[in-house]
């Protein structure tokens, strides 16, 4: 029997479902409704069109309705909006903006792929002509046209998620001064605060102004610019981009009495079937499970939406396929920097009361002796009992994407941090080091997991006693130390540590720091074998000074050392 399948929404999830349905069933009648003028467009590329990086709008259209018909024999109807779903009658009511008419269309199977819609806060002035949101190609065209015609000198971006940060970059590249206003204390919430601080310092150095812990209360025209009143003061800008997040666009599903969660996400099974056996749903409008923790969540990510569309198509055609959950793998470009994450972050691990640990490393993206090497920061979250990798974050420059992809694969495969150290990855000086940053991150986490090192972290530093009850040692060289040190830490360079053991009291714990944690680890291993209780600052002074920049992190009066005694004791037997 020939099936008639209607798909509502024609971007990642809907287009993916339509294409695979045809590949699996040449006889099915497939109709795809898209209320906008474009189908299967690259919405992740929209910020780059607004700033001129992508100059040809047509490049954002992956397939036109004509392409879909010619290649897949799918009836794509753009500028036609489904107004309601009659589950009992198996029909949808459609409004055509091309003809102005309303009509009904029957279906055997319905696929909902409406995506997510921008959150529009109830703020006075949000409907002003110089206030924009970004979801579709027409939205991007509107922003681009305003920039080209009005030549604004300044812009405010409300919201520091991926879209907000990408818009800030592209606006600045277009010659516009940018301020980002964020209600949280950080940008890019999938990464943790200390990793985001690396991005904050970089953006500030590029000229982007950042305002945290603040929300917009009203927007008003004020002469030639907008006055944006915040809960703490106000700012002025010539244009404003609202990028405060998205929510599931599930009004059709709600009106059709499909089962939703409390946030409006459409509840589906692993085969993407809703509470109605003849209706499937995919993409940002659904609730699915977290691959790592199995908690319920929604995510506006193109990759998962496309995979869900494939699985829905397979299920409709009788294949036994199930979606295993969202891992949340994502990356964002920030000028020539990148920030990537996969799996869960530490905020989630804490919220779920998981028994986890974390590690930090700073590694060059390729061999240090090859020109152009730049460090990337990596944070791992792992199960404290068995070392299973739960999440990873990487911030840096070239090579961040491939490292995070390796971590994503490792999480999908249930690998441990010990497994990361054993991975044999491609090496040549222009691309990596013999010990890849992935390997280095795995070794560092494994050392803590196996008890070869005890770590303390950037947030522990301020609580360390400075009353002499513990010993605080900076093992960087003297020149590094003189350039600024953490308050209370005395300098014993790593290469002098054995000659200086007599200065240290075995009855008092020793807290060690270095630049990134590597020399501190070496010093920790030395002192541990001489019978000291030692703790190493994971991520070192580099991470600490990024999160807690001077003057808070710097000591104007480095702690003096006592005169060295040239005595090198014998190592204790292990």
Residue carrying structure tokens 């792992």: 382
Helix, strand, coil % over all residues of the chain, rounded to 5: 30, 25, 45
CB contact at 8 A, 155 and 241: yes
Region for 145 from its dihedrals, namely left if φ exceeds 0, alpha if ψ lies in -120 to 50, beta otherwise: alpha
CB contact at 8 A, 312 and 111: yes
| Dihedral pair phi/psi, residue 518, rounded to 5° | -70, -50
Region for 46 from its dihedrals, namely left if φ exceeds 0, alpha if ψ lies in -120 to 50, beta otherwise: alpha
The sheet with strand 80-86 has its strands ordered as 80-86, 91-96, 102-106
Residue carrying structure tokens 């339509």: 18
CB contact at 8 A, 225 and 153: no
Residue carrying structure tokens 């996400």: 265
Q: Count how many residues are written for the chain.
A: 574
Q: In whole angstroms, what is the distance from residue 398 CA to residue 542 CA?
A: 19
Find the Cα–Cα–Cα–Cα dihedral 186, 189, 194, 198, rounded to 10°.
-70
Cα–Cα nearest to 539, from 360, 379, 346, 358: 360
Q: In whole angstroms, what is the distance from residue 316 CA to residue 278 CA?
A: 9
CB contact at 8 A, 561 and 503: yes
CB contact at 8 A, 240 and 121: no
Region for 250 from its dihedrals, namely left if φ exceeds 0, alpha if ψ lies in -120 to 50, beta otherwise: alpha
In three-state form (DSSP H/G/I as H, E/B as E, the rest C), the secondary structure along 462-475 is: HHCCCCCCCEEEEC
Q: Which residues contact 35 (CB under 8 A, 6 or more apart)?
A: 78, 79, 80, 81, 82, 97
Cα–Cα nearest to 407, from 442, 367, 433, 365: 442
Please say if 44 is a catalytic residue.
Answer: yes
Task: Render 47-61 in DSSP notation, one character per residue.
Answer: HHHHTTSS--GGGGB
Tell me: cis bond preceding 551? Omega within 30 of 0 counts: yes
- Whole-Å CA distances, 439 to 319, 416, 446, 449: 39, 12, 10, 15
- Whole-Å CA distances, 376 to 199, 207, 539: 12, 22, 11
Q: Which residue numbers are catalytic?
A: 44
């Amino acid at each position: 029997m020939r099936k008639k399948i209607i798909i509502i929404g024609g971007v990642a999830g809907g287009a993916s479902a339509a294409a695979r349905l045809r590949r699996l069933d040449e006889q099915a009648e497939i109709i795809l409704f898209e209320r906008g003028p474009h189908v299967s467009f690259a919405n992740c590329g929209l910020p780059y069109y607004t700033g001129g990086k992508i100059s040809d709008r047509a490049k954002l259209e992956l397939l036109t309705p004509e392409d879909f018909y010619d290649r897949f024999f799918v009836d794509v109807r753009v500028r036609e909006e489904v107004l309601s779903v009659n589950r009992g009658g198996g029909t949808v009511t459609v409004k055509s903006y091309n003809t102005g008419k309303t009509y009904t269309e029957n279906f055997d199977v319905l696929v909902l792929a409406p995506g997510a819609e921008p959150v529009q806060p109830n703020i006075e002035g949000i409907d002003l002509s110089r206030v924009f949101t970004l979801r579709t190609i027409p939205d991007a065209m509107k922003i681009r046209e305003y920039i080209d015609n009005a030549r604004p000198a300044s812009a405010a971006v409300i919201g520091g998620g991926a879209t907000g940060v990408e818009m800030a970059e592209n606006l600045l590249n277009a010659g516009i001064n940018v301020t980002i206003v964020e209600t949280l204390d950080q940008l890019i919430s999938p990464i943790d605060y200390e990793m985001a601080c690396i991005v904050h310092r970089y953006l500030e150095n590029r000229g982007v102004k950042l305002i945290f812990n603040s929300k917009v209360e009203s927007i008003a025209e004020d002469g030639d610019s907008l006055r944006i009143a915040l809960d703490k003061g106000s700012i002025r800008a010539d244009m404003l981009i609202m990028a405060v997040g998205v929510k599931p666009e599930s009004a059709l599903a709600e009106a059709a009495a499909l089962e939703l969660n409390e946030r409006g996400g459409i509840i589906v099974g692993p085969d993407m079937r809703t509470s109605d056996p003849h209706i499937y749903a995919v993409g940002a409008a659904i609730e699915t499970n977290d691959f790592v923790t199995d908690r319920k969540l929604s995510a506006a990510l193109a990759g998962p939406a496309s995979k869900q569309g494939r699985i829905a198509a397979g299920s409709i055609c009788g294949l036994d396929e199930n979606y295993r959950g969202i891992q949340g793998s994502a990356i964002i470009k920030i000028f020539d920097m990148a920030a990537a994450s996969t799996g869960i972050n530490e905020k989630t691990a804490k919220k779920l009361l998981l028994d986890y640990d974390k590690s930090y490393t700073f590694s060059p993206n390729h061999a240090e002796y090859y020109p152009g090497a730049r460090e990337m920061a990596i944070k791992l979250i792992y199960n404290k009992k068995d070392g299973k990798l739960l999440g990873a974050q990487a911030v840096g420059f070239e090579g961040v994407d491939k490292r995070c992809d390796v971590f994503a694969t490792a999480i999908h495969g249930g690998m441990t941090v010990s497994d990361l150290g054993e991975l044999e990855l491609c090496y040549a000086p222009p691309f990596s080091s013999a010990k890849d940053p992935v390997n280095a991150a795995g070794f560092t986490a494994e050392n803590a997991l196996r008890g070869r090192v005890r770590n303390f972290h950037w947030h522990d530093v301020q609580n360390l006693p400075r009353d002499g009850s513990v010993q605080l040692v900076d093992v960087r060289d003297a020149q590094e130390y003189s350039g600024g040190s953490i308050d209370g830490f005395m300098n014993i360079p790593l290469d002098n540590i054995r000659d200086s053991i007599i200065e240290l009291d075995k009855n008092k714990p020793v807290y060690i720091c270095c630049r990134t944690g590597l020399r501190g680890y070496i010093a920790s291993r030395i002192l541990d074998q001489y019978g000291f209780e030692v703790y190493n600052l994971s991520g070192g002074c580099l991470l600490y000074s990024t999160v807690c920049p001077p003057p808070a992190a710097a000591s104007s009066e480095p702690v003096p050392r006592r005169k060295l005694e040239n005595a090198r004791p014998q190592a204790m037997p292990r």
